[in-house]
Amino acid sequence: MCGRLAQHRAAEKYLASLGVQATLFGRTPAEDIGRYNVAPHSRVDLLRRVGEGLVWSPERWGWSPSWAKAPVRSDINATREKVAHSTYFRQVWPNRALLCADGWYEWCPVEGQKTKQAYYIRRSDSEPLFIPAIGQFSSPETEPRTDDGFRIITADSAGGMLDIHDRRPIVFGAADARSWVSAIPSTEADHMLQTGTLPVESFTWYPVGRDVGNPRNEGCHPIKRVVPS
């Protein structure tokens, strides 16, 4: 599961690595986003298709259908096993988007300690992460509705990545990421989710300080490597 992430490059750098162009709203292309401790339910820069082109705009990380009667345990992630076929996601499954990020955080239990150790996970080659998402979105020229938002899609971690959680975000390579935000059929998009995620060997991770546990802690220090106590 992904509940905290880093998104600190400029939009133009993510787009260059992805090999696409997009219309930006709320940000200039060369402006560093500079967010190293992005928490759920904040507005996060997201790439999505609108008409024949791509749009880069801030969207709320978190979504639940308006008809849901009870609060859900988590409204920030969707599992790849169910997202294409579940009634719960039917209205937003066609609305594919891409979260371009630099890394995410996970917390690992430490034997003999009550406090978990935080780890930062990124690509070994330092390329951006292209994480598939779905959501409900308004026109980028208008104010978002109160129930707009998105979820990122997760997969079974299959072990090997810290072995700290049973889920991790799907991360596409650039080619699959471009396809995800193209006009491919729904069945092909579902197939990509089941087969296209980068393997564990594509990632590296290391321990970081406790500051990342509080989303009010900003600046670049949350991704700095530390020696576990």
Can you spell out the DSSP letters for 152-205? Answer: EEEEE--S-STT--SEEE--B-HHHHHHHTTT--HHHHHHHHHH-SPPGGGEEE
Whether 106 is a known active-site residue: answer: yes
Amino acid identity of 106? E
Instruction: List the catalytic residue out of 31, 81, 100, 106.
Output: 106
58 token code pair = 């801030």
Instruction: List the catalytic residue out of 2, 52, 108, 143.
Output: 2
List, in order, residues 6 or more apart from 196 with CB less than 8 Å away.
170, 172, 173, 176
State the Cα angle at 124 between 200 and 150, rounded to 5°. Answer: 70
Whether 220 is a known active-site residue: answer: no
Q: Which residues are catalytic?
A: 2, 106
